[in-house]
A and B are shown apart, each in its own frame.
Chain A
Amino acid sequence: MFETFYPQLIGLCTGALLLTSALMVWRHSLLASIRLLGLQGIALAALVAVIGIAEDESELVFVSLLILTVKGLGLPWVLAHQSKASIKQIQESPRLNPTAALLAVTLLTILSYVVVSRVFGLGDTTTGHAAPIGLAMVLIGFLLLISRRRARSQLIGFLLLDNGIATIAFLTSGGVPILLEFAISLDVLLVVLILHVFAGRMRTKFGGTAVDQLRELHD
């Protein structure tokens, strides 16, 4: 029974991952991006749980719970942890307009399918077939990092990049060893906390969090 649904479940989860990534590029409001990031974390946790059940590995189900708490609930809560009223007003004014950005997302997705199928030759299994989604998420994360001006939006780009790497890891090799999974989650959580603190300091020192202001150090 589960075997028949398995490819569809994998497709559903990875589809949700790609959709949330594209929506993050499209939406300019910070609060919406944070909510999408939470949804993406939940989709990633579901993907890991599906792979875990299919491969009959209880360890992966445990990892899926870890991802759900850290990426689905923890990080979005940390990012949104200031008064809802002020965060609702934060609108991003990116360097790319929405049409161009969505076009770029399409091109990046096609590119990652070409790269993965031609270079790695992973297309023969269900999970391998979905692996390009992970690479597409990494590339879209880069796009957000480059095109966004605000400190917290760049942070969301970084987290999208990290989700993409995790997706590739689970789809190609069923995840890295569990001890490492812990270490990686902890590292990412701490980096996000540090950047969050810096974004706060930036607001008090520069009167805003536009990264464009960081132009004083140069040669």
Chain B
Amino acid sequence: MSVVLWIPLVGPLAFAGLSLLLRGSALRRFVGVAASGAVLVSGLLLISTVLNGAVPTSGGGMLRADALSAYMLSVVGAVGLISTWGGLSSAASSRTRTAAGYEALIALFLAAMSLAVLADSIGLMWAAVEATTIATAFLVGHHRTRHSLEAAWKYVILGSVGVAIALLGIVLIYAASVGTDTPTLSWLLLSQSGLGLDPALITAGGALAVLGFATKSGLAPMHSWLPDAHSQAPAPVSGLMSGVLLSVALYAILRIQSITNLVIGPEFLRTMLSVGGLLSLFVAASLLIRQRDYKRMLAYSSIEHMGLMAIGVAIGPAALPSVLLYILGHGLIKATLFVISGRILKVEGTPMISDVRALLARRPGLAVPWLIAMAAIVGFPPFSIFFSEVGIIMAGWAAGLGGVVGAALVLLLVIFAAFTRLTVQMTIGAPPDGVAFTPDYSAHGPRLPIILALATTATVAFVAEPVGTLLLQATAVLGGSN
């Protein structure tokens, strides 16, 4: 099975090369979809292997897929598939040279993210996360307008400085391991107890590494690149960044936490992540109330959800299955929303909420899926985000973090109200009098990925076998007994 570990790395790279070679072919537009498909299929294969009790490794132990890695790889593939398939470009526009670079960079991004979750080395994981900055820089600046250039510059500077801080942390963690018998960066070895790692170096290293990866996962106060980048990037790229990049950065934090917990206990990172999480919820709440741009609205929603996930990580093992389910649910729904937002932007020609009115009456083909996905993102059952949020809050209460989850609940309520108001503004209501219109039932793009994403998130929380088992196994990997 160890060959499967190479498919999500080599497959997308091969497709990226193909995209550059297929001159003027309309087939090129399927490169992103094919790359995501390769990642998803190998993720599912690895999950089935892991559930049978095996842990595939390859490349001299550099690549390794335990339950957590296999699950994250499947999330990368699934979110990638929804984003790229939903945002499929037209045959005509895919013949240009910019389209070739665009598709190749998307495939490169997917390969880098797969490497980040499969690498059994904090260093290699770091290099892969930094490589995504490189792949997404030109994707954010794809439209080549003043705004997208500004967003791309801020994204690359803040992203690489943040990731450089993480590198400093990783260097200190390595320095701590040099004092032991086996100098290593493998988190498998580092997260074994009894190594005798230097607590002072691990504290400083862990704090810096978490701070760095928190920048990449959009936690306040290092979030300022996120709304700009998400609002200026093409819709499928926004979906990929929100659903994949932020989640993989959170995965990195989970891995670092499993190392620091053994040496210095959970309290230190718990405080850091709780503060970051609450601050993110606060920033999202205060900027969502008066939001005017619907793509920025979705970006702040990502900050909100990452904040709540960070609180879940702070709570510890009891909340981790909910956090992992959250990563999947948020990724799929956010990719769907960004894809639909891209279509609304294309047909309406404006990103302003106030200019898009009565969408349900005028364009039911777009408004109906938009409303369903909005209901899912604010946390209505039966969508899995509801169960994740309830799971995190219950676990926090049981773990004695009642104050933190109480404050989070209040902020969630504010965000819920703001979201409802903005969505109602866009969709409900009658068009202005005297303007003749015919309802537009077209979905302006493939319907199937949207239906698949919504159906998956609506049912996944009810599937105890194998989803529940997998989530518990993944939590056990991180040192939790629950």
- Set of chain B residues within 8 Å of A100, measured between Cβ atoms: none
- Check A121/B200 contact, CB under 8 A, given A161-B164, A165-B168, A180-B121: yes
User: In chain A between 110 and 128, which residues have their CB closer than 8 angstroms to a CB of chain B?
Assistant: 119-121
Contact with A along B168-209 (1 / 0, CB 8 A): 101110110010000101000000000000001100100000
When the two chains form their complex, are residues A165 and B232 in contact, meaning their CB atoms are under 8 A apart? Answer: no
Give Cα A9 to B471, complex, Å: 54
Query: Complex: how many Å from CA A182 to CA B96?
Result: 34
A-B contact count (CB 8 A): 113
Within 8 A of B (CB), among A159-177: 161-162, 165, 168-169, 172-174, 176-177
The segment from B85-93, B150-158, B250-258, B268-276 that touches chain A is B150-158
Complex: A119 Cα to B176 Cα, angstroms: 13
Pick the contact of A198: B134, B141, B147, B200 (CB < 8 A). B141
Q: How far is the CA of A88 from the CA of B126 in the complex (A)?
A: 37
A170 closest partner in B (C-beta): B171
Q: Please state if A198 and B151 are interface contacts (CB–CB under 8 Å).
A: no
Inter-subunit contact B175/A198 (CB<8 Å): no
Minimum CB–CB distance from B343 to chain A (whole Å) comes to 23
Among candidates B138, B185, B290, residue contacting A180 with C-beta atoms closer than 8 Å: B185
B232→A217 contact, CB < 8 A:
yes
27 residue pairs of the A-B complex, CB under 8 angstroms, read: A119-B204, A120-B172, A138-B168, A158-B164, A169-B175, A173-B183, A174-B178, A176-B171, A176-B174, A177-B123, A177-B185, A180-B123, A184-B127, A184-B130, A187-B127, A191-B130, A194-B134, A198-B137, A198-B141, A202-B153, A206-B146, A216-B146, A217-B147, A217-B151, A217-B231, A219-B287, A219-B296
Chain B 221-257 interface residues, beta-carbon cutoff 8 Å to A: 227-228, 231-232
- Binding site of A, secondary structure by majority: helix, strand, loop or mixed? helix
Contacts of A198 in B (CB 8 A): 137, 141, 149, 152-153, 156
| CB atoms of B204 and A120 under 8 A apart | yes
The yes or no answer to A183 lying at the interface (CB within 8 A) is yes
Closest to A118 in B: B200
B241 → chain A closest CB, angstroms: 16
> Does A145 touch B at the CB level, under 8 Å?
yes
A183-B127 in contact given A162-B164, A172-B178 (Cβ < 8 Å): yes
Nearest chain-B residue to A121 (Cβ)?
Answer: B200
Residues of B within 8 A of A169 (CB): 171, 174-175
Interface centre among B144, B152, B296 (most CB of A within 10 A): B152
A201-B144, A217-B228 known; A158 and B171 CB under 8 Å? Answer: no
In the complex, the answer to whether B287 meets A173 with C-beta atoms within 8 Å is no
From residue B353, how far is it (CB to closest CB) to chain A in Å?
Answer: 13
Residue of B137, B161, B200 touching A120 (CB-CB under 8 A): B200
| Cβ contacts under 8 Å, B134 to chain A | 187, 190-191, 194
**Cβ 8 A contact of B124, one of A180, A195, A202, A205:** A180
Q: A169-B175, A176-B174, A214-B154 are in contact. List 4 more A-B contacts (CB 8 A).
A: A161-B161, A168-B172, A177-B123, A219-B227
Please name all residues of chain A whose beta carbon is closer than 8 Å to the beta carbon of B146 when the two chains form the complex. 205-206, 216
- Tell me the smallest distance from the CB of B131 to a CB of chain A, in Å: 6
Residue of B nearest to A195 (CB): B156
Q: Which residue of B lies closest to A191 (CB)?
A: B160
Residues of chain B within 8 A (CB-CB) of A219 are 227, 287, 290-291, 296
Inter-chain contacts of A191 with B (CB < 8 A) = 130, 133-134, 156, 160
CA distance A214 to B126 in the complex (A): 29
